[in-house]
Amino acid sequence: MEIRPLLMCFALCVVYATSKPTEKKDRVHHDAPLSSKEHDDTENFEYDHDAFLGEEEAKTFDDLTPEESKDRLGKIVDKIDADQDGFVTEAELKAWIKKAQKKYIYDNVDRQWKDFDVNNDGRVSWEEYKNVTYGSYLDDPEPDDGYNYKQMMARDERRFKMADRNGDHIADKEEFTAFLHPEEYEHMKDIVVLETMEDIDKNGDGFIDLEEYIGDMYNHEDEMDEPEWVATEREQFSEFRDKNKDGKMDKEETMDWILPSDYDHAEAEAKHLVYESDTNKDGKLTKEEIVNKYDLFVGSQATDFGEALVRHDEF
């Protein structure tokens, strides 16, 4: 059975082996913007719709009547209210927005789930994952394709155990998502850093020095002149990456590099939605407050018609 290319370590091997010599390789994980649209509420609320629902889901409201949009929004509010206390807090709204924005990840896991849940019990054990992914290696321990499958399997098992929070060697859907997409989970960040360091640390000293850092980004083939960005990265390493100026990056410095504390778009949007909808200014939203401002959260035929009128007037 062919090894599946979903494995991060395998994917990185393929990507980094086939990149052009002058092409910069980027290991930094950034959160994607909440919407491709401009955030200008004086024009329309399309950015807020995309942020609240995800771009694809937001489109499904555009053909609904205002009453249908309100009804559907009310059902969504019940899901957002995690503790079912009748209020939507800023924290609950932020969590919902983050989940909506990661829908493509959950869809990806759903597509793969049936391949690994061999016994259809709604969970994936390490044995199931190992047998499906490394079946050919188990049958042929010495393949001649140049990949070290034994090392890859050990690395996957370590990550699987990290994702398996209750330690039962079986992953539910959320744990399996953390296994496949560790960069999206706070408790998986250490494993992302560890795997990155193992990839780059060629001399095995547990650190990333300047040459290893540059060597991972830039392939010195054909003795060609270095692109300007390589010199810039050398400066970045010395000035910003190597914070303690010892000539190498440790675990904490590597984490700051590949998992930077970016501006939290979901938190900013949650604050914005609460501020605009909280009529009694108690810092939390009722279903009524949200539905009353439904056009801020979701679209409808009415908002589409209004925007069409605006566009028509511009002509």
C-alpha count within 13 angstroms, C-beta hemisphere, residue 263: 6
**Whether pLDDT at 314 is above 50:** no
State the pLDDT at residue 20: 45
List the chain domain ranges: 45-207+250-298
Task: Name the pLDDT band for 303 (thresholds 50, 70, 90).
Answer: low
Average pLDDT over residues 22-29: 74
- In whole angstroms, what is the distance from residue 215 CA to residue 195 CA? 17
Three-state DSSP class for 180?
Answer: helix
Of 87-96, 223-232, 253-262, which gets the smallest average pLDDT?
A: 223-232
- In whole angstroms, what is the distance from residue 228 CA to residue 231 CA? 6
* pLDDT tens-digit readout, 140-170: 766 666 678 888 999 999 999 999 999 999 9
Three-state DSSP class for 314?
Answer: helix
* pLDDT tens-digit readout, 171-212: 999 999 999 999 989 999 999 999 999 999 999 999 999 999
Of 137-146, 269-278, 305-314, which gets the smallest average pLDDT?
A: 305-314
Task: Name the pLDDT band for 11 (thresholds 50, 70, 90).
Answer: very low
- Who has greater pLDDT, 104 or 242? 242
DSSP string, 21-84: TTSPP-----PPPS-SS---TTT-SHHHHHHHH-HHHHHTTTTS-HHHHHHHHHHHHHHH-TT-
> Over pLDDT 70: what percentage of the chain?
84
152 contacts: CB under 8 Å, gap ≥ 6: 7, 9, 10, 134
Nearest C-alpha neighbor of 275 from the set 291, 300, 293, 288: 293
Task: Answer whether 219's CB lies under 8 Å from 19's CB.
Answer: yes
- Who has greater pLDDT, 250 or 219? 250
Task: Answer whether 13's CB lies under 8 Å from 213's CB.
Answer: no
